[in-house]
Structure 1
């Protein structure tokens, strides 16, 4: 996309988005402890103002029945944060919100019933062939009984190559939306932790990093607990070789190759060597925000090609399509390939809808994902498509860092101005 075309698009989006009515007054709500299945009394409730960063506004405490009332002193978009057992839980409060319901859980530093569903790595080189770009995704399932949140100074730890340079990271809680979350370095080089609560259901972590590359590179995932699936996605121009007895099976795809290992125990040999150069083609990344392959229309509920992919993307819903089918990663691809653009795309979809949070929506996320609709508004779909395409063009090397920064900043301005108009 040229700069002038992009600017015209931003201008059209800005003037086409209708104004959002902002409301002032009060927000009432109820907090329920899902571990004990009763109202949660004594929890701190804070209204957070989202304009110009996250600013705490007013505070209160839940009563014996878990009820609270927050004063809303200013117009705009807010989050309601409930702190229970030292763990934060969020619900969005767009303009017009009058009430919210928040579900919380008791917390512990270690909770039984937590396992890695998958560790998925996406590899490609930059255009120079001198840097390897990796996007690694961790899918963590909390199936605790009774339901509890794992939260501490290192609720989820992982390993990266010692010479990795982290370029981006995000986390996604059950029923929530992607949020930027920076991993914290631990004592040993290459060892990191996401300080992000692992709530009941499925939590996803993504970290993007680069490595020096001279035409061949040896890597190896290092899961810290039993893992259901290790998957390595790369261009077909790469040559792959398992190292040290590692067992990977090749799954052919139209525009990529994927190597998969199953039922991995901690300490298992998972080393591999890749050589060659190349980028994953853009059409391999055409998945929509709900995990389904894009169809080019506004129907986000369209079935995947072939109709064989699992459509259950609820938290803790399992691995979806069996790993031995032609497309084993249908459930994961939207998160793997779209990257951090979802942070803006999903926020845009939710806040531009102008709808208050519904009590039946899944709690414990920073904000609920955009509900799927048979016919998404063309304007919203255009905005989401452009955000997606921007990140894809960057990942495939079609944009320089300067072009990416300029275009992303312009889209952010459009989004913020649209949200703030009232």
Structure 2
């Protein structure tokens, strides 16, 4: 029996003008066997809409305003949603780089480097607007980089596949993804040819608060003569070097040599626990367990950040992501989402087509739980919002896991039935 609400009502507010968003397209997207459009409508003069819900399951509500898309999850039983949108422009004052974080290690053969690079972009525009056009976020990769996976995370959203678009000059790319007010994160995983030494010449295209390089202790880091890197002094099983308040003209070159892999055993165990039904809170508790004397994970022993937003210490916020287990969970989890999908040509989320395949639903739900936990730890979610969002996601995750087990027992075990 269909237990979900038969309709979803909602209101769309333009937070640039603080007025109702009239005439915006609203679409209900069904998250099963890919992202499929279910029903659509438009907002009325007061920004209100009603969507028919013809089938049970997990849905997304998508609103398009000024060609940029805004999403809200709609788990089974959702009756109403409130969605905020913003006016958009190709370039918006107040957009800058929060951090460029590179995690570098050699592969087991020693003939290649594997790099996971995360870009944190903040939009502090006043009044708030979305930066969106032909190339909302541009970046460079090292020569010879072969992209293996990529993802984007909008403020308050879940990680989704978003393919970088090559631009005219070599190694120059852009994510066609809206930079909404708040913090947007991009992740690119790539491989580099390696003969025991590699010279990186990072190039930031906007003023960036922090550039960080994380690598195994068994490898050697040598900064360029004018590069402003300094080591992070926390005792961890990895080494990290940072440059702060970086401008586009600033030299950032460095050379890495030697071989080694970053420790991931603890996080992989946590990911497996999540696959067996652990909640985001359970996994976060496992990741944060132990004492400063016994915890040898990257970032272990740091405890809860005293200044999670980095108000007093610009580095504090990124300890969580770069050194902390939740940061590693996000990086590895997005990689799980993208495995097997690198050969697919998927339109970016910003232009309104599906980017989360059916086989990635469980991974997406677990990543959203991690995101909720992270937002709570960083003070972005109040206790009431945290409890509501976590409870809704846990219900959907349990249902998906139960269906997966039933499907696996009824099939030949070749894959989940979600």
Question: TM range, normalised to the smaller chain?
Answer: 0.7 to 0.9
- SS, match of residue 286 in structure 2: coil
CA distance in structure 2 between the partners assigned to 1:132 and 1:192 by the alignment: 20
In structure 1, what is the equivalent of residue 259 of structure 2? 277
Residue from 333, 337, 341 that aligns with 2:333: 341
- SS, match of residue 280 in structure 1: coil
In structure 2, what is the equivalent of residue 309 of structure 1? 305
Return the offset for 1:336.
4.8
Question: Does structure 1 residue 168 correspond to structure 2 residue 149?
Answer: yes
In the TM superposition, 1:81-160 aligns within 5 A as: 81-160=62-141
- SS, match of residue 341 in structure 1: helix
Question: Higher relative contact order at CA 8 Å, sep ≥6: structure 1 or structure 2?
Answer: 1
What CA deviation, in whole Å up to 9, does each residue of 1:137-182 have, x standing for no partner? 1000000000000011210000001210001111111111111111
Question: Does structure 1 residue 227 correspond to structure 2 residue 245?
Answer: no
What CA deviation, in whole Å up to 9, does each residue of 1:66-125 have, x standing for no partner? 111111222222111111111111111121111111110110000000110110100001
In structure 2, what is the equivalent of residue 258 of structure 1? 240
In the TM superposition, 1:20-419 aligns within 5 A as: 22-23=3-4, 25-252=6-233, 253-282=235-264, 294-296=284-286, 305-307=301-303, 309-310=305-306, 312=308, 317-318=309-310, 322-323=314-315, 329-332=319-322, 333=324, 334-336=326-328, 338-342=330-334, 344-348=362-366, 371=389, 413-414=415-416, 416-417=417-418
Using a 3 Å threshold, how does the CA distance of structure 1 residues 369 and 106 change in structure 2: closer, same or farther?
farther
Return the offset for 1:372.
5.7
CA distance in structure 1 between the partners assigned to 2:162 and 2:103 by the alignment: 19
What CA deviation, in whole Å up to 9, does each residue of 1:29-74 have, x standing for no partner? 1101111111111111111111111111211111111111111222
In structure 1, what is the equivalent of residue 344 of structure 2? none
CA distance in structure 1 between the partners assigned to 2:187 and 2:388 by the alignment: 20
Instruction: Indicate if the aligned counterparts of 2:158 and 2:367 stay in contact, CA closer than 8 A.
Output: no
- What TM-score do the two structures reach when normalised by structure 2? 0.73
- What TM-score do the two structures reach when normalised by structure 1? 0.73
Count matched residues: 343
Using a 3 Å threshold, how does the CA distance of structure 1 residues 28 and 411 change in structure 2: closer, same or farther?
farther
Return the offset for 1:244.
3.7
Instruction: Indicate if the aligned counterparts of 1:129 and 1:215 stay in contact, CA closer than 8 A.
Output: yes
Using a 3 Å threshold, how does the CA distance of structure 1 residues 69 and 178 change in structure 2: closer, same or farther?
same
What CA deviation, in whole Å up to 9, does each residue of 1:235-270 have, x standing for no partner? 000111112421211124320000111111112110
CA distance in structure 2 between the partners assigned to 1:225 and 1:152 by the alignment: 17
